[in-house]
């Protein structure tokens, strides 16, 4: 663990007002940002980039080899759905458990532990999917995999929000872009493994080892913060578990937090539905071939990833509320183009706008949820909005499928227009509560 000296420089670009506001809102046990050098802050940020990348890598590695696992184990389509359900349920449990794990073990040990759990889960899935075909072993592995990924999702977003506060500029969208980079890398490696006929077990063991080793190295650059239980040498008494439980539950009574959840619900619903139904809508709804459907989905993924890469400076320039409202308008207009137009170029433009519109709500919502004076509450708040967002990802695709069966897939997508519009109306809840922009807003 690196030691901090009193004479280390702070970021040159952070103005005096921002420093005062940041110090005023940080928990009493936290190390001051004034004592972290530029080099330490950048290393911290890069470590969280790495955690996001590893989470995406793990997810794509498993999903891309699912057809091979299905064949080796001889699973039916319904069986595949039930196996996936075990991982989904476990991921929700991970989201719920994450605040307690952070309070009990700290973020360094917490992120290491849950990503190692992900790695062990991948190994079990690999063994159960090829070496010793076994559905129960796959289910156990996916349960560990889902729990670890759900928990690390909260932890890395809490850490990302903290790094963002101390850096003094928006980096959360770029962090989520690194998750997308991880999925691209995982999918590419899976294609290569399949092409050279590398068994599922060997492939997933290699990925698991890479994840375990990399997270152990990366977390060394995450600073300790006593208010989240990171420092084992602090003499401060730890809150009893009943107090931590009450803290986790009381956030659900915060109307502002619930409105942030509405923003994430609407946009996550639109993003998750696109992931599952966009290509099918191109084929079944617009009567194009499967190649066109795959190409249109690629356009969507490029749009959402690209917007997250470049979105941070725009948020810093215009603020969270203005950007979320603009994204809502762009998303609604793009989806309307996609649903109601028939010209190929209009479908492409609509898909681009749909992806851009969905891109920033999840990372901005995480930042807004963590933007509170009591840093010990940040984990519980991020966990709460993450559950709302993930419920949208889980519930959205089946609901769109039901509507599509009854009314046609394009008509089923009309629901997303209303949800994205509601997300835009709820955007003021994400207004900055700390930092120079909050100060200037209060002054007006």
SS3 assignment for the chain: CCCCCCCCCCCCCCCHHHHHHHHHHCCCCCCCHHHCCHHHHHHHHHHHHHHHHHHHHHHHHHHHCHHHHHHHHCCCHHHHHHHHHHHHHHHHHHHHHHHHHHHHHHHHHHHHHHHHHHHHHHHHHHHHHHHCCCHHHHHHHHHHHHHHHHHHHHHHHHHHHHHHHHHCCCCHHHHHHHHHHHHHHHHHHHHHHHHCCCCHHHHHHHHHHHHHHHHHHHHHHCCCCHHHCCCCCCCCCCCCHHHHHHHHHHHHHCHHHHHHHHHHHHHHHHHHHHHHHHHHHHHHHCCCCHHHHHHHHHHHHHHHHHHHHHHHHHHHHHCHHHHHHHHHHHHHHHHHHHHHCCCHHHHHHHHHHHHHHHHCHHHHHHHHHHCCCCHHHHHHHHHHHHHHHHHHHHHHHHHHHHHHHHHCHHHHCHHHHHHHHHHHHCHHHHCCCCCHHHHHHHHC
- Mind listing the pLDDT tens digit for each residue in 61-118? 887 777 788 778 877 766 777 787 788 788 888 888 887 888 788 888 999 999 999 9
370 Ramachandran zone, left/alpha/beta (phi>0; psi -120 to 50)? alpha
pLDDT at residue 162 in the model: 82
Structure tokens at 421: 């519009």
- Mind listing the pLDDT tens digit for each residue in 260-297? 999 998 998 888 888 778 888 888 888 888 788 878 88
List CB contacts of 409: < 8 A, sequence separation 6 or more: 277, 280, 281, 284, 285, 400
Domains belonging to the chain, first-starting first, are 31-230 (1.20.1250.20), 251-434 (1.20.1250.20)
pLDDT at residue 246 in the model: 67
CA angle 294, 296, 297 (to 5 degrees): 65
pLDDT at residue 11 in the model: 40
- Mind listing the pLDDT tens digit for each residue in 213-245? 999 999 999 887 654 445 444 444 455 555 665
pLDDT at residue 22 in the model: 40
- Whole-model pTM: value is 0.75
CA-CA-CA-CA torsion for 295, 300, 302, 306, nearest 10 degrees?
160
Nearest CA to 344 out of 75, 439, 352, 63 is that of 352
Low-confidence ranges of the chain (pLDDT < 70): 1-35, 77-78, 225-249, 374-376, 434-444
Query: What CA–CA distance (Å, rounded) separates 407 from 285?
Result: 11
In percent, the amount of the chain with pLDDT more than 70 equals 82
pLDDT at residue 372 in the model: 77
């Amino acid at each position: 663990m690196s030691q901090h000296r009193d004479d280390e420089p702070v970021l040159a670009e952070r103005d005096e007002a921002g420093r005062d506001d940041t110090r005023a809102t940080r928990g009493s046990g936290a190390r001051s940002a004034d004592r972290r050098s530029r080099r330490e802050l950048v290393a911290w940020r890069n470590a969280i980039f790495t955690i996001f990348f590893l989470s995406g890598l793990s997810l794509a590695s498993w999903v891309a080899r699912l057809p091979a696992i299905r064949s080796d184990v001889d699973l039916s389509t319904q069986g595949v759905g039930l196996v996936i359900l075990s991982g989904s349920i476990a991921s929700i449990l991970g989201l719920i458990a994450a605040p307690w794990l952070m309070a009990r073990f700290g973020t360094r040990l917490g992120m290491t532990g849950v990503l190692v759990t992900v790695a062990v889960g991948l190994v079990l899935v690999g063994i159960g999917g090829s070496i010793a075909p076994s559905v129960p072993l796959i289910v156990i592995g996916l349960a560990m995999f889902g729990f670890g990924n759900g928990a690390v999702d909260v932890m890395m977003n809490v850490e990302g929000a903290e790094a963002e506060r101390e850096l003094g500029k928006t980096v959360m969208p770029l962090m989520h872009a690194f998750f997308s980079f991880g999925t691209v890398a995982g999918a590419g490696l899976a294609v290569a493994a399949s092409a050279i006929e590398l068994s599922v077990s060997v492939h997933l063991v290699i990925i698991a080892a890479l994840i375990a080793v990399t997270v152990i190295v990366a977390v060394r650059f995450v600073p300790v913060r006593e208010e989240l239980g990171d420092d084992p040498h602090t003499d401060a008494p730890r809150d009893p578990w009943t107090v931590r439980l009450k803290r986790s539950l009381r956030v659900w009574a915060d109307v502002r937090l619930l409105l942030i959840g509405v923003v994430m619900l609407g946009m996550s619903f639109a993003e998750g539905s696109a992931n599952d139904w966009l290509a099918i809508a191109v084929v079944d709804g617009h009567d194009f071939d499967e190649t066109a459907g795959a190409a249109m989905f690629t356009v969507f993924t490029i749009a959402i990833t690209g917007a997250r890469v470049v979105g941070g400076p725009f948020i810093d320039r215009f603020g969270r509320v203005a950007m979320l409202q603009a994204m809502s308008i762009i998303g609604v207009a793009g989806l309307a183009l996609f649903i109601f137009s028939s010209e190929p170029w209009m479908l492409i433009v609509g898909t681009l706008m749909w992806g851009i519109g969905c891109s920033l709500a999840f990372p901005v919502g995480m930042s807004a949820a963590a933007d509170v004076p009591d840093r010990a509450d940040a984990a519980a708040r991020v966990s709460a909005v993450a559950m709302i967002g993930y419920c949208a990802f889980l519930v959205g695709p089946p609901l769109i499928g039901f509507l599509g069966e009854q009314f046609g897939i394009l008509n089923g997508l009309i629901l997303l227009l209303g949800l994205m519009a509601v997300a835009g109306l709820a955007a003021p809840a994400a207004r900055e509560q700390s930092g120079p922009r909050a100060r200037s807003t209060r002054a007006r």
